[in-house]
Structure 1
Amino acid sequence: MRRKADLLLVTALVIASAAPAQAADRQAISIAPGRLGEAAITLGRQTGVSIGMSDQSLAGLATGRVDGTLSVDAALKRLLKGTGATARRIDAATWRIERARRRPSTATRPRPVPVAPAPDQPPAEIIVTASKRDTPLPRYAGMVEALDNRAFTSGEAANGTATLLARIASLSSTHAGNGRNKLFIRAIADSGVAGPTQATTGQYLGDMRLNYAAPDPDLKLYDVGRVEVLEGPQGTLYGAGSLGGIIRIMPNAPNLGQFGGQVSAGLSAIQHGDPGGDLSATLNLPIVAEKLALRLVGYGVQEGGYIDDVYRGKDDVNRVRTWGGRAALRFAPDEDWTIDLNGVYQHIDGDDAQYATRSVGRLERASAVSQPYFSDYLLGNVRIERQWDSLRFISSTGLVRNELAESYDATQPDGAPALFRQNNKVNIFSTENRLVRDLDNGLGWILGASYLQSTSEIHRSLTSFGTANVQPEVIPGVPVYGMGLAAAATGVRNEVREATLFGEASFEPVKGLIATVGGRLTNSRLSGEALDPVAALSSADLARAEAQADRNETIFLPSASLLTDAIPDITLYAKFQQGFRPGGLAVDDQRVRRYQNDRISTVELGFRKGVPGRDAIALSANVAYTDWRDIQADVTDRIGLPTTANIGDGRIYTVEGRIVVRPTPALTLDGSFIYNDSRLSQPAQFLRALSYEGQSLSLPNVANLGGRLAFDYRAPLANDLDLHLSGAARYVGKSRLGVGPILGQTQGDYVDTSLTASVTRGPVQYSLSLTNLLDSNGNRFSLGTPFDLRSDYYTPLRPRTVRIGMDFAF
């Protein structure tokens, strides 16, 4: 797979522990097809020389196989043939790869080269960059899913997080709507209701955190070079909120030496629904050759609706529109410095809620009011990298502003139409500075410090559209004005300030055994207050709750792992890791209450054989045990409003495996499964009071069983045509919406399918895709409106959808 330029070393310097060879010495060399960055590392290891690069963009160039008894000079010439790069000898043990100087010519114009690599380029060695130490996959202790740009068509990029859910068996989600969903890895799930608690899955764009006390922003995956998913707690390297794991999205970095771009467009038709479409454009513009470049991405997506509201007589009410873009400016003043300025903006508009009611009819419901929502997301980031041989310094600082406005039907039986609105504004400032030493083959260390400040403000209101002089009460203590006038309900503001020191080191005490130890020390300053409190709340109660929320917490998260690759082509590992989330304030039955922090500990054993995409057969498997204390969960209070509480202690057993087979170079078969056994072993008192005394409850929202089967076929055709076929089927097992009898509705137990075909000729690609081939009506999510938890609501799979698309690269 491709190792992306923005996460490679500015100087891909490889210092071998053996004595360096002379350039003229002939040695046995074997380098697999792949990318120049990984090939240079491999050549350096095999020959003992140091190989540097003048430009990060060179590292992404495709290279062919090099085999034989060769000198370093001859090997480099073979490796660089046709790449537009050349090698210059610095001294007896040091080489530098540079972009070849172009001779000016007015006779012919060079053929445009696409921004992204051609689809038939071979995969390279997988490097786990989310480890923050560029660890080769065979020497990474843990389960990881790595998807490069070969995995995403433009249609899949338009689907955002849904594409990741379709490809990764261990990843699951709620389905309240784009920009409203909570993501879960393995069975580390708290609930399906969106409240003030922090996410259990950390999400990152490069080195920048995407969210904190907010759902998945669902950024579209246009011009993304790579996505990595690390499973299990990642507290040492990523801190609070990475209980289940992390998702790291790495966009393509600006190319300093090459102008190019891409335009894509698609039209889709939904059975039983409205048509949709998507449009995107990418432009890479070198401003100063090899020094300064700008990369721009813009897109717009409309997803057609397919839910009919029979009460209001409206069809296809759940239409969603998304538009946004990214801008990245890269400045490389010399070979040792790289400075990146990144900006992201995305806006999502949902016309109505995504759920239906089974008793009303397939893809139908009866609501008294529309339930629109929107998500507004803005991110800015500065990243600076400095290289000294095998030592790197990385500094990443940025701001996030995320606003999510939701609405729920609050109409009571025989009452006037009413709408409950919740607006969550999250502001994040974060900075991380780390020093990394990458040694040979996964060894090295990292030492860093970070600071994060997150503020979340949740405002709530109730609007009744009745016309009677006296309106029945919907929420205790909240007036009902009628005539479409809004009345404020109690909200909450939480602020977290975290200062952290962290470190991790890997060493090889004996040959073939790698030990890794690490730790993270975090001091959190927490504060909270009620917003727009109702008159029924006394000032004494408010003062008491706010005093409890204003506190300091210091926590240490250790980690350790052992890995051996002493058996050829097989990796065995054992790992211990922890994670946590800080506490805060929540509104419960119109009262302000404090919830405590929770903490998770995981022990896992695993093995890995081969590398997917490189070897004929690649296998991986993992068994994990998780202990989760004082679980924070977003639940509903007795009124139906979202709130947060500690629901007790739990434990989780997880077994998962994957096999990737390449029977021919053109065909790849991929199968994976995950089994979860989760229990709330010690429920909190308020749950035991709900007739569950002495019983063990399942944790919510994650299926006990899941699996995926997929194929990928790529082959050249006649007349300079390339064919790509892919298909997948994913099974999502049964789960429950929440904990307790009120939220005990089942969901899941369905199969989702997809099929894609594309033909590429030169810079043009035509594609045809089909999703939900069987037109399944499976239930993805059982929550409709929290003001009615007893109706048979369900969130159906998007009906059978066909999309035709065209991409043009220049």
Structure 2
Amino acid sequence: MRAARVLTAAAIIVSLSSAAEAAQRHRLLLPGGRLGDAVNALGRQAGISIGIRDPALAALSVPAVAGKLSVEDALERMLARAGARAVPLGPRTWLIVSAPQRRPRSQPQPPQRVARLLPPKPRTKPARPPEAIEPPAEEIVVTGSKRQLPLADYPGVATLIDGDDPAFAGLGGSEALAGRVSAVTSTHLGPGRNKLFLRGIADSSFNGPTQATVGQYLGETRLNYNAPDPDLKLHDVQRIEILPGPQGTLYGAGSVGGIIRVLPNAPDLYDQEGGASTGLSATQHGGIGGDLAGLINVPIAEGRAALRLSYYGESEAGYIDDLERGLDDVNRTRTVGGRAALRLRSPSGWTVDLGLTGQHIRGEDAQFADRDGKPLTRHSYVPQDFRNSYALADLVVGKHWGDLHFVTATGAVRQTLTEHYDSTRMGGPPTQFEQRTEVTMLSADTRLSREGPQGRGWLIGASLISNRSEQSRALGPPDVLKPITGVRNGIEEATVYGEASVGVGPAITVTGGARLSHSRLSGAALDAPLAFAALLRTIEASRTETSFLPSVAISAEASPHLSFFLRYQEGFRPGGLSVTGALVQRFRNDRVATLEGGVRLLGGRDRSFEGTASVSYTRWNDIQADIIDFDGLPTTTNIGDGRIYTLDLRAGWRPLPGLMLDAAAVLNDSLVTNPAPSVIMTPTAPLPNVAKVNARIGAEYERPLSRAVTLRMSASARYVGRSRLGIGPILGEPQGDWLDTRLGARLERGNHAWSFTISNLLDERGNRFAFGSPFTLNDTRQVTPMQPRTVRLGWDVRF
């Protein structure tokens, strides 16, 4: 049956499609002189990536270009007499190559171009690169490397996804991102309370005081520290960069699994822009949902200041029925949010970006069901609602001096998560558990970098972080909750770091770096019983930690179509305090080290085939994880050491004009090698939430139906293999082994577009997460089913 579903999904994918929108026009002022300098300026002004593999091409002389032009027109003017041409490789991606030699005069000559007297035919963006494909050479720049580093020269695996990818139709968030990228997995407690994991580095299923394993960033600014994923909607986003594996040298604590960096669209200093979208959805076995979003960009002083505002709201239908309370579709979720961004540019080239981001999520009830009951139903005695409020203010200042780049970023975050669980014991009166987490974070990062050819260059930087989190808890009848012991953790961290890449011959680049961090940790119990006051004073003492994180990497180009890389990187998370019953106890810092090697293959005419394969070994010492104590309360401890073997495979192919096929798979083999004596578990337990197989296949196709109408179509299928909920006998429940299939179509005509999407096409139930409430988990087996088949109709307009 499973094989039949997989074959059905594959057949659907091979038959469907997607493509792009008309080229945007920009106010450009490009210098004459070296082609390399001119394309760098074009990339910055238009927000795109342009690569040149041949150093001789970069040295060619080109004329200055100015005016309100599309990228294609600007490149055409720039390269008209340079003996070069620009090859489109993605929606914001170009590669400059040598132009073919002219045909001998004895051969028929192609028609000569003449001045356009009629309005030009609308141009569509080329097919976007697929998920997890390492696009060729310099056509995409990995800014997550904190340098303008061409992807072909980046010594590691990176996934770069365009912000208007079909997977984000409507108001996609982290759930859509996990569905788009095989390396990304998540718990499924609900929007705004999940934990994200990258490529098998997963600690536990619950929201305790441990720091996140994945560092999340909005542009240059850090989004979280030891709070759950804020799940900001991917609205008005330029692209998303995902770097799996430890990133300790550049990003410090909390990046043991990697980083996810969302780049929002920056204010346009020249052109006014606006847009709006709306959609209506229907969920089988559930209710009706809807979404609304909009944006406006207003230049305040042309070329000097601009304001960009975006907003959105969404109501996701519920589909879980609570039979005990006689309620249907209890798990509806509502989200509202937006962003304001102000950009200022001085005549000398300094850029100042001010941003405000806010979002509020309210879940009316939990989204789990009883494993042994009727599908999509459960029995609970009290509401299990949750709320997540998130606010971010950030300031980024930067300047370019040729290939020298300076940037400093400062951010302030306030996040509050309130969760309710059903803690009713079998045969007892209805009781409720409340957990409230409040996080305040200040972060600052300043760096200076220089970019050179073939990814060579250097950077130096310093950062400061101050994070304070309070987790208060209460238990009792729903209307008379009484406080129980909670915990407060604080950390102040100061860091210096650096990295340099040097050439060893013409085809080999060696990169080395290091990060030195000094942290001061403090903690205290909240609402603790007076009887434990003397004991707590011995635990609450603050302490300091110093961490040194080295890294080394090698990248080598065997041929224009084949390259290799090898990297060693480390990461860590600081320790803290956690609660066990009425007591507070320490947990130690943990540390991750990964050795990874890989190969990239770029082949076919205009590089129509791209593939990447990497294998890695990860050693994880003193793993911090959340477990369930004897009272049914979540607590945090060090469970032991672990190791992970990972095989990461990605490929993309453009067999026909307008058609893009992609496939990706991540295979993990994990093991807790020497469990701590205080943790009850088998000696060969795998890490929690780490599936042995995560795989995805997709297809996108674009077809112009007329001069003004374009049809885009897409399809995908994603398989998530089996995993375990957590560590120990209570948390050893199996989960996973489900297939999600999606279809989409989009009809574009001028500034208007109409879309149609179907998620979970086969209406699978699955079990995404074998958890709902820690208090009833021992009595009732739980599942978190997939959202049933959902159909969405959407309309959007640009003006």
Q: How many angstroms apart in 2 are the aligned matches of 1:54 and 1:71? A: 13
Once the two structures are superposed, residues 411-459 of structure 1 have per-residue CA deviations (whole angstroms, 9 ceiling, x without a partner) of 1111111110000000010000000101123111110000000000001
CA contact (8 A) 1:405 1:424 kept: yes
- Equivalent position of 1:189 in the other structure: 202
3-state secondary structure, aligned to 2:534: helix
Map residues 13-412 of structure 1 onto 2, 5 A cutoff: 38-39=49-50, 46-48=57-59, 61-62=71-72, 71-72=81-82, 119-120=125-126, 125-152=139-166, 155-156=169-170, 158-334=171-347, 336-412=349-425
- Equivalent position of 2:476 in the other structure: 463
How far apart are residue 534 of structure 1 and its match?
A: 2.5
3-state secondary structure, aligned to 1:485: coil
Q: How many angstroms apart in 1 are the aligned matches of 2:284 and 2:576? A: 45
- Equivalent position of 1:632 in the other structure: 624
3-state secondary structure, aligned to 1:542: helix
1:580 aligned partner, one-letter code? F
- Equivalent position of 1:448 in the other structure: 461
- Of residues 491, 498, 521, the one that matches 2:516 is 521
Is 1:539–2:533 an aligned residue pair?
yes
Cα 1:190–1:77 change in 2 (3 A) is: closer
Q: How many angstroms apart in 2 are the aligned matches of 1:697 and 1:15? A: 62
- Of residues 557, 568, 573, the one that matches 1:581 is 573
- Equivalent position of 2:96 in the other structure: none
Is 1:504–2:517 an aligned residue pair?
no
Q: How many angstroms apart in 2 are the aligned matches of 1:356 and 1:799? A: 13
- Equivalent position of 1:705 in the other structure: 693
Once the two structures are superposed, residues 377-419 of structure 1 have per-residue CA deviations (whole angstroms, 9 ceiling, x without a partner) of 0000000002212111100001000000001001111111111
- Equivalent position of 2:553 in the other structure: 561
- Equivalent position of 1:762 in the other structure: 750
CA contact (8 A) 2:438 2:471 kept: yes
Q: How many angstroms apart in 2 are the aligned matches of 1:607 and 1:133? A: 22
Q: How many angstroms apart in 2 are the aligned matches of 1:206 and 1:189? A: 24
Where in structure 2 are there 5+ consecutive unaligned residues? Answer: 1-18, 21-25, 93-117, 130-137
2:145 aligned partner, one-letter code? S
Once the two structures are superposed, residues 679-717 of structure 1 have per-residue CA deviations (whole angstroms, 9 ceiling, x without a partner) of 000100112xx363xx22111011011111110101211
3-state secondary structure, aligned to 1:648: coil
2:544 aligned partner, one-letter code? N
1:706 aligned partner, one-letter code? N
CA contact (8 A) 1:14 1:49 kept: no
- Equivalent position of 1:720 in the other structure: 708
Between Structure 1 and Structure 2, how many residues are aligned?
Answer: 735
2:558 aligned partner, one-letter code? A
CA contact (8 A) 1:36 1:62 kept: no
3-state secondary structure, aligned to 2:225: coil
CA contact (8 A) 1:273 1:307 kept: yes
TM-score (norm 2): 0.87
1:420 aligned partner, one-letter code? F
- Equivalent position of 1:92 in the other structure: none
Q: How many angstroms apart in 2 are the aligned matches of 1:745 and 1:406? A: 22
2:567 aligned partner, one-letter code? K
How far apart are residue 485 of structure 1 and its match?
A: 1.3
CA contact (8 A) 1:40 1:51 kept: no
How far apart are residue 720 of structure 1 and its match?
A: 1.4
Q: How many angstroms apart in 2 are the aligned matches of 1:612 and 1:230? A: 26
Q: How many angstroms apart in 2 are the aligned matches of 1:614 and 1:796? A: 43
Q: Indicate the larger mover: 443-452 or 607-616.
A: 607-616
3-state secondary structure, aligned to 2:558: coil
Higher relative contact order (CA 8 A, sep 6+): 2
CA contact (8 A) 1:36 1:59 kept: no
How far apart are residue 663 of structure 1 and its match?
A: 0.1
CA contact (8 A) 1:12 1:37 kept: no
Is 1:438–2:430 an aligned residue pair?
no
How far apart are residue 61 of structure 1 and its match?
A: 3.0
- Of residues 773, 777, 794, the one that matches 1:805 is 794
Q: How many angstroms apart in 2 are the aligned matches of 1:776 and 1:252? A: 36
Map residues 587-626 of structure 1 onto 2, 5 A cutoff: 587-610=579-602, 615-626=607-618
CA contact (8 A) 1:15 1:44 kept: no
Q: How many angstroms apart in 2 are the aligned matches of 1:245 and 1:52? A: 42
1:541 aligned partner, one-letter code? L
Cα 1:450–1:78 change in 2 (3 A) is: closer
- Equivalent position of 1:489 in the other structure: 484
Is 1:729–2:721 an aligned residue pair?
no
Q: How many angstroms apart in 1 are the aligned matches of 2:86 and 2:381? A: 72
How far apart are residue 126 of structure 1 and its match?
A: 1.2
How far apart are residue 60 of structure 1 and its match?
A: 8.2
- Equivalent position of 1:658 in the other structure: 650
TM-score (norm 1): 0.86
Q: How many angstroms apart in 1 are the aligned matches of 2:81 and 2:677? A: 73
1:778 aligned partner, one-letter code? G
Q: How many angstroms apart in 1 are the aligned matches of 2:120 and 2:378? A: 52
3-state secondary structure, aligned to 1:744: coil
3-state secondary structure, aligned to 1:519: strand
3-state secondary structure, aligned to 1:421: strand
- Equivalent position of 1:742 in the other structure: 730
Is 1:778–2:772 an aligned residue pair?
no
CA contact (8 A) 1:260 1:284 kept: yes
Q: How many angstroms apart in 1 are the aligned matches of 2:614 and 2:184? A: 15
How far apart are residue 35 of structure 1 and its match?
A: 7.1
How far apart are residue 636 of structure 1 and its match?
A: 1.7
How far apart are residue 334 of structure 1 and its match?
A: 2.1
Q: How many angstroms apart in 1 are the aligned matches of 2:525 and 2:121? A: 57
Q: How many angstroms apart in 1 are the aligned matches of 2:226 and 2:85? A: 50
Map residues 787-798 of structure 1 onto 2, 5 A cutoff: 787-790=775-778, 791-798=780-787
- Equivalent position of 1:667 in the other structure: 659
How far apart are residue 582 of structure 1 and its match?
A: 0.2
Q: Indicate the larger mover: 439-448 or 776-785.
A: 439-448
How far apart are residue 611 of structure 1 and its match?
A: 8.7
CA contact (8 A) 1:13 1:389 kept: no
Q: How many angstroms apart in 2 are the aligned matches of 1:377 and 1:287? A: 28
CA contact (8 A) 1:12 1:41 kept: no
Cα 1:412–1:53 change in 2 (3 A) is: farther
Cα 1:763–1:703 change in 2 (3 A) is: same
Cα 1:53–1:265 change in 2 (3 A) is: farther
How far apart are residue 718 of structure 1 and its match?
A: 2.0
Q: How many angstroms apart in 1 are the aligned matches of 2:224 and 2:605? A: 32
- Equivalent position of 2:101 in the other structure: none
Once the two structures are superposed, residues 592-627 of structure 1 have per-residue CA deviations (whole angstroms, 9 ceiling, x without a partner) of 000000000000010111299962110100100000
CA contact (8 A) 1:138 1:611 kept: no
Q: How many angstroms apart in 1 are the aligned matches of 2:261 and 2:604? A: 19
